[in-house]
Amino acid sequence: MSEPVPTPTSNKGPRPQDLDPAALRHHARRLARADAAPWLHAEVAGRMAERLAYIKLQPARVLDTSPLLGASAEPLRQAYPAAERLWHEADPVLAARAAVARAPGWWRKLRGGGSGQLDSLPARPAVELVWSNMALHAAADLPGLLNQWQASLAVGGFVMFSCLGPDSFVELRPLYSRNGWGRPAPDWWDMHDVGDLVLKAGFADPVMDQERIRLTWASAEALLADLRALGGNVAPMRFTGLRGRDWRRRLLVELDTLRDGQGRLAMTVELVFGHAFKAAPRLAVAAETVVSVDAMRASLRQGRSGG
């Protein structure tokens, strides 16, 4: 029998970023036991790091908010070798795994000593860069998370992130639909929705872009193994029946129908990238201003005396 998957605790969906919390925890703990970060995350971390060349700011303090699964330790070290590098992981199991020797070890060599771990957000003192690689699509409360990031940044600092977009694994939708298997993946936030949320969180000058990657496999077994290494289905409206050997055998047969003209199994991954800055807070201006008569007289006297 295959590994059991938690049944949904919510029947919401599909709305942007409706996720099942129990399934999120289940798959995060499974990924935490792996020998390495998901294979795609390391590739995306490199692509994300290339975008740092367009930003002139050299942060003194860098906060990695996806240290275990984000595979970003080496790209950040190379980009900012003199920076103090910190990390925070909200999930306690992932945090525990990130703190052991198997996880990336750059936080053990921080300037000034210490582990570099932040137990909670917002970061104090503030940082100049908040970095999140391939984690936002697994955030059950994205607006709340963005607010934490904004509060962690110093004025003039910036956030940089990447995540899966809604067209990821789009080829699975008709396959799952004709078999009555529910949704193969959540209806993730699209690029424009994420940009709107970034603005609402108080960031300035957000820049959003996307890439589509076409991945191919020789066999359905290899495709399924790689998808499993990326995580799992956390959509509330996913198939909730028994997933035993017969179901897996049927899934492999269905996946084999995705072969392209070259005989390869093909799948699309949409990547969303973004960055934004923290601007100085604006002074609040009231819609109505009340001035006392005495204040007006004093102002007039001052004006006449200076005329």
Peptide bond into 122 cis (omega under 30): yes
More confident residue, 202 or 242: 202
pLDDT bucket at 98, cuts 50 / 70 / 90: confident
**Residue 1 clears pLDDT 70, i.e. is over it:** no
Inter-residue contact 64 to 131 (CB < 8 Å): yes
**Residue 200 clears pLDDT 90, i.e. is over it:** yes
Domain CATH for 239: 3.40.50.150
What are the tens digits of pLDDT across the range 41-63?
Answer: 999 999 999 999 999 999 999 99
Is residue 262 included in any domain, yes or no? yes
* pLDDT score, position 267: 92
**Residue 115 clears pLDDT 60, i.e. is over it:** no
pLDDT bucket at 113, cuts 50 / 70 / 90: very low
CB atoms within 10 A of CB 220: 18
* pLDDT score, position 215: 93
Mean pLDDT of the chain: 83
* pLDDT score, position 9: 39
Is residue 5 included in any domain, yes or no? no
pLDDT bucket at 242, cuts 50 / 70 / 90: low
Share of the chain above pLDDT 70, in %: 79
Tell me the whole-structure pTM to 2 decimals. Answer: 0.81
* Mean pLDDT in residue range 142-162: 96
Is residue 34 included in any domain, yes or no? yes
**Residue 136 clears pLDDT 50, i.e. is over it:** yes
Is residue 69 included in any domain, yes or no? yes
The number of domains in the chain is: 1
Is residue 15 included in any domain, yes or no? no
pLDDT bucket at 97, cuts 50 / 70 / 90: confident
**Residue 12 clears pLDDT 80, i.e. is over it:** no
Tell me the H-state helices in the chain. 21-32, 39-50, 73-79, 92-98, 142-152, 172-179, 191-200, 220-230, 245-255, 293-306
CB atoms within 10 A of CB 218: 11
- For strand 61-64 and strand 84-87, is the pairing parallel, antiparallel, or unpaired? parallel
Is residue 11 included in any domain, yes or no? no
Is residue 249 included in any domain, yes or no? yes
* pLDDT score, position 182: 87
pLDDT bucket at 304, cuts 50 / 70 / 90: low
What are the tens digits of pLDDT across the range 246-292?
Answer: 888 999 999 999 999 899 999 999 999 999 999 987 755 555 556 56
* pLDDT score, position 237: 77
User: How far is 250 from 57, CA to CA, in rounded Å?
Assistant: 52
Question: Structural domain of residue 97, as residue ranges?
Answer: 21-306
**In what order do the strands lie in the sheet containing 153-164?**
84-87, 61-64, 127-133, 153-164, 265-277, 204-217
More confident residue, 48 or 96: 48
pLDDT bucket at 206, cuts 50 / 70 / 90: very high
Is residue 283 included in any domain, yes or no? yes
